[in-house]
Chains A and B, each alone.
Chain A
Amino acid sequence: MRLLRALIAAATALAVTAFAAPSFAADDPGPAAYAKALNGKRVMLVPLAMGFDLAQGWAHYLKKEVEAWGGTFETRDPNWVVDAGAQAITDAIASDTRPDVLIIHAPDLNSYSKLMKKAQAAGTYVLLVDNPANFPADAFVGSDWDKLGQLEAEAAIKGCGENSSKKIGLVQGDQANSSSLYQYAGIMKVLEKHPDFQVVAKPDSNWDATTSRNVTTTMLQQHPDICSIIDFWDGDATGASAAIRDAKLDGKVFLVTTGGGEKAADCDKLNDGTYGAVVMTDLARQSGDMNAIIKFLLQSGQPAGTSHTYIYTLEKATTKADLKPDSCWDLKALQAEAAAK
């Protein structure tokens, strides 16, 4: 049986080389160059942590693509500890298996700048994802947080409507993270254009749901007539929503937040009215951008640190009204897909 199969395979191969190869191979050098440039290259993703939806989504799409073109894909999980992340990057650069592309999800504007410079010096392309940093990476792929803030503010204004109290509350993340600072700036830009709207309180949640709930509760007590709250991340917006629920203001306060567009985290919540609007990241497209720029960089032959490309993902505020079945991606499905392999 086995012998037979081998014979057939050999015959087929012979036939292909004999007839097919000469006719096409000379025509298109693309696939060969592509394979040559990419084969065996290493790509490493260092997010803030692997434990949240976006990171897992990115990892899923990147892995799929990188392994398809014969590269190696790895992740490092610093679990929100900046020091551990820094060490992971340091180790990666110094190790025998130095990655050719390093995708970094920066915790703040500064911390990794020097390491990224080192990585580029060692010949590794550095790709920043989602969080901006004060560093000219080879490419940045992710949200324009300022724009994102504007979208949120617009959604909140729309959610409040014309006949409302026009009071808006913010639940910020913290005062250090760029995603929080830029969001705030964006929101304020829009609100300047609408002077009738005012921000009545802007506490920080420190990205923690319980804190978010506590500050929102107090906010609602002081200003029960708030028409909309913008919480800076869906990770802690559950707290704000709980506070709204507690205050029996469900439906009266329009909660706007932003998130990675995961089904359980965002679409389901939009669906059940927990959130009024969510500015969602289109994960598949963002990951696609990343894959494209990785492939570009690896083939470009340019030294690391030459180009400074910015690729902002197109985003929009989604409400229950414009929810479609494919508005969100499903982490469970991705995991199931990965498990099936």
Chain B
Amino acid sequence: MTFRERLQAWRYNLVPDHLVGEILTKRWTDNAIPFLALVATLGVFGSIIPGFFKLTSLQESTRQLGEFSLVVIGMTVVMLGGGIDLSVGSIFALSCFSAVYVFFILEQSIWLALAAALATGLVFGAINGYLVGYLRLRAFLTTLVTFIFGRALFDILVSSYAADIQLSQASSEVLDFIGDGTFWGLSVSVWLATILAIVTHIALTRSRLGWHVLAVGGSRRSAHNAGIRVRRTVFMTYVFSGFCSSIGGFLIACRLSGAGPGTGLNLEIMALTAAVVGGVSLGGGRGSVVKGLMGAIIVLTMTNGLIRLGYGTGTNQMVLGILLAVAVTIDIRWLKNRHKVLNEVYVAPVYLKMGETQSAAPGSGTSYELDNRLSAADHIGLGELEGPEDVILDRDDHLYCGTRHGEIVRFFAPDYVKSEVFAHIGGFPLGLAFDKEGNLISCVGAMGLYSVSPEREVKRLSAETSRSWTSIVDDARLRDPNDCDIAPDGRIYFTDSTKRYDAHDWALDSIENRATGRLLVYDPKDGSTKTLLDGYRYTNGVCMAHDGKSLFFAESWACRVHRYWLEGPRAGRAECVIRDMPGYPDNINRASDGNYWMAWLGMRTPSFDLSLRHPDMRKRMTRRLPQDEWLFPNINTGGVVKFNEKGGIVETLGDLSGNAHPMVTSMREHKGYLFVGGILNNRIGRYKIAGADPNWTGPTSYWGAKP
């Protein structure tokens, strides 16, 4: 290996380029910019202001934050629903007044004051909601007018009752606690804001109500067509905003024990600024409560921080303006270009030096030498079939195969002329196996592990495994289940070829050549799925050894076959039994003579092997060239290989003519015949094996003679 090549190997195998792409696929990266702004703001002010992070100081200084966050949460929800609520300040002030009026003037209990505040907020919100939602007035204009109205009303009320409020002797421990106390170190307002934020966040991302809000904000017409009650949803967002503001108003009433003309003044512009800094988009659809909260913290920390530092009027508006412009500009550019970046960086090839191999060329004299025997195979279903990846036969000699259209087709014995669609599953039914009860188990590409009963009932067995916490992509979802086999105890062992690409993007996986293939096991007893092995280059065929104590599985892009021990001293471990084959292995199945059949879906080429040593070249290729000009594994020629328990090659079959079975993805031996399938083929081949046991069948080999 030259130094340059070693450098390349380190560069591409040690630097986790793929993580960049994986991180970018995550929705939470939307929050990156506001989050950075938040950290920077807290960092700067925390280091300049002495005692900023001190608990007692935080307890006090976050009270206002709690109230403000509540208002921002309400505003965020309205904005997500495609509206805007400029009247939050008025609602806040009026609710504050209601609480104060009930408590201090009517001298009622604090809880009644709370009820009054909430009622005020809900009624005001409902008015906004009715006007904007049901009468469908324009939100900006309407809430602007209700804002003026509410403010005027509040000013009148405050000026009429201000003196009376002061004369009141009413007091309450609860009020003092809400206003001044702390609970587990945090003030009531922070607790309330936190709880409401969590509830709202869950509601928005996971609940029906939240989805409806997002849908209405994202596209009113689509939401309507989807059967969502758009008007009611819009109405509810304003009611919710009124609710949030009224809690805020109640809290400030408790904190200041009064209401003054300045209560809630300019709150709407502050809340709007906070939502915008956080990255909630105006006009709906994009944003989250988390973003709103981050915005709220940034805005308040900054305003109060600058005041605390003694800066004069204007400085904080100036800084806020700069921050707003910078944050929003970067955020918008970022969101706009994220997908472009993602497209550019997602494919991140690694370096691999394939081992020296023996030639499979005819006449080369190696054990891999291909011949022309398969070209003599009879054809079944010629022209009707599209892509029979795997084939299998049942006890009654009927032949089953999957197709590209997501169907499992059954050909009837003995002549295999007549056929029917046995079941429709969808996806790409790849690996097939019969269990003890005669259910047909199929590994369906892009879907999961399915079972089809003899009565054709389709049942999903598994579509997810446990998530590994070190992975950034959610690897619980199966993306490319490929082949399966069943152990004597009924457990189903199967492979999931890649974690990074969907089944139909297998070519990208081969070009990237990253080892993300897995071996999994499904336990029918409790329905659980576990990951046994991880980190192989495209795990493919699986076959239970004849004694049922170990299994073989193929690692396609590395041209290797491994043996995984189920029991015995090496249980739970895998060892490589065949390495550096000249072809890419696919399905593996039992042979009647105690050996194993293995399909080669394609043959290695020096050019592709070379390209594997040049990840940079492959990366450039995927970016600059149209897909049909990419260099990827040759799948035009293949063959069938028989190997023994030790991994020794017994014989090799091929179709040099290229007419019948140029590439093979599966083969089954049944009563002296070999049935051959290929995912790009339009037929199944039936080849008479010389000297094979004419009575041997798969089901018998697995489950014994017919009961």
Contacts and interface: CB of A to CB of B under 8 A. Distances in A.
- Contact between A and B in the complex (any CB pair below 8 Å): yes
**In the complex, which range does the number of interface residues on chain B fall in?**
35 or more
Nearest to B176: A114
Interface stretch (A170-178, A212-220, A256-264): A170-178
Nearest to B317: A79
A135 B443 CA distance: 78
Contact of A110 (B57, B166, B265): B166
A84 B303 contact: yes
B61 A88 contact: no
A77 B60 contact: no
Contacts of B266: 81
Given A95-B57, A114-B258, A109 B307 contact: no
Interface in B17-72: 49-51, 54, 56-57, 59-61, 63-64
A108 B262 contact: yes
A91 B162 CA distance: 26
A94 B61 contact: yes
B158 interface: yes
Interface in B390-418: none
Contacts of B260: 82, 107-111, 176
Contacts of A50: 312-313
A93 B166 CA distance: 23
Given A49-B313, A94-B56, A115-B256, A82 B64 contact: no
A318 B11 CA distance: 84
B299 to A, nearest CB: 12
Given A109-B260, A177-B261, A77 B313 contact: yes
A108 B261 contact: yes
Interface in A3-17: none
Interface residues of A, number: 40
A90 B63 contact: yes
A78 B307 CA distance: 7
A94 B166 contact: no
B456 interface: no
Interface in B138-175: 155-156, 158-159, 162-163, 165-166
B256 A111 contact: yes
Interface of B, secondary structure class, is helix
A302 interface: no
Interface in B64-86: 64
Nearest to B60: A94
B158 A94 contact: no
A90 B64 contact: yes
Interface string B4-18: 000000000000000
A316 to B, nearest CB: 29
Interface in A54-85: 74-79, 81-85
Given A49-B313, A107-B260, A96 B179 contact: no
Contacts of B261: 82, 107-108, 174, 176-177
9 contacts: A50-B312, A76-B310, A78-B307, A83-B265, A94-B59, A95-B57, A109-B162, A113-B256, A176-B261
Interface of B: 49-51, 54, 56-57, 59-61, 63-64, 155-156, 158-159, 162-163, 165-166, 179-180, 255-267, 303-304, 307-308, 310-314
Given A76-B307, A78-B307, A83-B265, 14 more contacts: A82-B263, A82-B265, A83-B262, A83-B264, A88-B307, A93-B60, A95-B51, A107-B261, A110-B165, A114-B257, A114-B258, A174-B159, A175-B156, A176-B260
Interface of A: 49-51, 74-79, 81-88, 90-97, 107-115, 118, 134, 174-177
